[in-house]
Structure 1
Amino acid sequence: MNIELYISQLLYRYQCVTVPGFGAFLTEIQSAQLIESTHSFFPPKKMISFNAHLKNNDGLLANHIAQAEKTSYEYAVSAIQYEVHNWKKALQENGLFSIKNVGNFSLNADENLIFTPYDQTNYLANSFGLSAFVSPVVKRELFEQKIEALEENIEENEVIEFIPERRRTSAYLKYAAVFVLGLGLTGAIGYPIYQQQIANETVIVEQSVQKQVQNKIQEATFFIENPIPAVTLTVKTKEQKMSYHIMAGAFRDEANAQKKFEQLSSQGYKARRIPQNKHGLFPVLYGSYATFAEAEKAKQEIIKTDNPDAWVLIESL
């Protein structure tokens, strides 16, 4: 089984993809870039790095392979182990090997693993369809030379004198102006007086209405002889869906599954039993978690104290 394709698929969706027994591929989002010297623009992308110390099986890759290949989880784990064995063998024999669309691995003089990622593949889904491009230099026209040329063509400055034309105005226009001025003064003096009168009348009406309302309130008396008892409402909150579960084991006999469930519950775990799977087994869980970080932390504690073979199941239950 070639697991390179499944690693590439998971890198589009997750920030960490662990290959059990080999290491983990980590992704980090890099913002769009502009290189001014070459006028090149690059879209946002996911930068891939490798950590050889993260080798524990988190169940992500094996579950994805099992669902894609329609096979069991155990078979997927075995296929991963076989592929990792081939990778290590290629490193020992050739000193390097490649994972398609992910990167190259090689050994340095100190036998340390060196990872070189591919730059051609962008695993950031939001940048789908975007590619790098080079923009031509924007040339700005200089207008100073044109202005100097125009100034040289002007030989002299001509002064134009404007002489206003005298017109005869009729006498009746003077009287009309005096009449309009008188109307303006009358309006300027009378309008504030009119506004003040309206404001005074409005205050009188508001005081009268308010007094009548107060009298009505004083006359009204309310009596409740048989008050309705208080009603207590119980609001059911929607349970948060858990997608990350720590697997304790899967049993062929349902009685053994129930026994394991009761044992974990007595030890203080929030144990769960889930329905029988397609292989006829009855799974038992240590507990369920909302985030992968919480599940991973709890798994490490369980591995140290109770079960070294515990692993994370990723499924919406």
Structure 2
Amino acid sequence: MILANYINDLLYRYDCVIVPDFGGFVTNRIGAKLDETTQMFYPPSKQITFNSHLKHNDGLLANYIASAENISFEKASTAISLSVIKWQNELQTAAISLENIGTLSLNDENQIIFEPNAVFNFLTDSFGLTALESSAIKRYKEQVKPLVPVVEKTAEKGIPAFIKYAATAAILLTLGFAGYAGYQQKEQEKLLANQQKAIQKKIQAATFVISNPLPTIELNVAKEIPKPYHIVAGAFQFPENAQKKVDELKKKGYNAQIIGVNKWGLTQVSFNSFVKKREAINNLYRIQKTVSKDAWLLIEKL
């Protein structure tokens, strides 16, 4: 069994794939980018990182292997443990290459270093998109000379005396009208200011008394805590079959519900949903041992 192949499959569907007792492969979405040095456009992708602290078994990888190989959950967990031991031994002498994922190696402090495969893209939205080379755009700057205004000189001519007197009279009349208009505007502003002061005094002097005030109503609204950990009982092509499964599980005492439709158009049904991950995993193990070995844990906020 090649463990890297199953990790590779799950990275298309999930943002985190944990290898128990080894570490977790985490993906982060990055947008399209341009390499200004090579003039290459790269489509959106998932950047893979490795976290050696994520060692707790969430059941995702083991459940997927059990389903793909048609074996029990316990056998799948054992196969994962054997692969982890093999990886740990190989890392003591050489680097490990995981196909399409990246390379694992040890540094001088005996810590795992991960180098992702930059060529392979796990983002399904970018399927079929490849890097595109574009020629660089050269911009030329031309210095613009400032415009110099040209003033035409006209020959001065003598102005008759009666025109000068008429112009002076027109200016005096204009100034007179402007002064009178300004005076009227100031008088109107004073009148409005006095009216506003009178209204404010009346408002301040007024007293409003409510003899029979309405009683205060206190509403206690319980804030619903999200439950992102779901124990999946199955996925159904027809919604009516999913509802039958929900009714069947509720009769058995489970808080079953339909938790949505997955990427393949199948309606998913859960045994129960939990706030805490540890509680969800404990219930998952109990259900796999007593009710359904095919049950698995889905981490998703509804």
TM-score (normalised: structure 2): 0.52
Residue 200 of structure 2 corresponds to residue 237 of structure 1: no
Larger Rg over CA atoms: 1
Residue 188 of structure 2 corresponds to residue 198 of structure 1: yes
Identity among equivalent pairs (%): 34
**Inter-partner Cα distance in structure 1 for 2:98 and 2:114:** 10
Q: Which residue of 2 aligns with 1:78?
A: 75
Q: Which residue of 2 aligns with 1:280?
A: none
Report the AA paired with residue 218 of structure 2. L
- Cα deviation 1:131-168 (Å, max 9, x = unaligned): 43333244445869xx9xxxxxxxxxxxx996623456
1:182-261 alignment, distance < 5 Å: 182-210=172-200, 217=206, 222=209, 224=211, 230-244=215-229
Q: Which residue of 1 aligns with 2:57?
A: 57
Question: How many residues matched?
Answer: 242
Report the AA paired with residue 172 of structure 2. G
Alpha-carbon distance, 1:238 to partner: 3.4
Alpha-carbon distance, 1:173 to partner: 3.7
Unaligned runs of 5+ in 2: 232-252, 258-270, 283-295
Report the AA paired with residue 75 of structure 1. S
**Inter-partner Cα distance in structure 2 for 1:244 and 1:121:** 30
**Inter-partner Cα distance in structure 1 for 2:196 and 2:46:** 70
**Inter-partner Cα distance in structure 1 for 2:31 and 2:180:** 69
Instruction: Assess if the C-alpha contact under 8 Å between 2:39 and 2:133 holds in 1.
Output: yes
Q: 1:205 to 1:52 in 2, by over 3 A?
A: closer
Q: 1:180 to 1:61 in 2, by over 3 A?
A: farther
Report the AA paired with residue 235 of structure 1. N
**Inter-partner Cα distance in structure 1 for 2:164 and 2:275:** 97
Instruction: Assess if the C-alpha contact under 8 Å between 1:243 and 1:315 holds in 2.
Output: yes
Instruction: Assess if the C-alpha contact under 8 Å between 2:65 and 2:76 holds in 1.
Output: no
Alpha-carbon distance, 1:7 to partner: 2.7
Alpha-carbon distance, 1:195 to partner: 1.9
Alpha-carbon distance, 1:206 to partner: 3.6
**Inter-partner Cα distance in structure 2 for 1:61 and 1:86:** 13
Q: 1:175 to 1:127 in 2, by over 3 A?
A: farther
Alpha-carbon distance, 1:23 to partner: 4.4
Q: Which residue of 1 aligns with 2:288?
A: none
1:25-174 alignment, distance < 5 Å: 25-27=25-27, 36-42=36-42, 45-50=45-50, 55-63=55-63, 75-79=72-76, 81-82=78-79, 85=82, 100-103=99-102, 117-124=116-123, 131-141=130-140, 164-167=154-157, 169=159, 173-174=163-164
Instruction: Assess if the C-alpha contact under 8 Å between 2:255 and 2:272 holds in 1.
Output: no
Q: 1:103 to 1:200 in 2, by over 3 A?
A: closer
Alpha-carbon distance, 1:53 to partner: 7.3
Alpha-carbon distance, 1:18 to partner: 1.3
Alpha-carbon distance, 1:186 to partner: 0.5
- Cα deviation 1:80-139 (Å, max 9, x = unaligned): 5446657977998xx9986553246799xxxx9986643222235676676433332444
Alpha-carbon distance, 1:34 to partner: 5.7
Q: 1:84 to 1:118 in 2, by over 3 A?
A: farther
**Alignment partner of 2:72: what SS?**
helix
**Alignment partner of 1:242: what SS?**
coil
Instruction: Assess if the C-alpha contact under 8 Å between 1:23 and 1:51 holds in 2.
Output: yes
Unaligned runs of 5+ in 1: 148-159, 247-272, 278-282, 300-311
**Inter-partner Cα distance in structure 2 for 1:243 and 1:77:** 25
**Inter-partner Cα distance in structure 2 for 1:26 and 1:35:** 24
Q: 1:77 to 1:170 in 2, by over 3 A?
A: farther
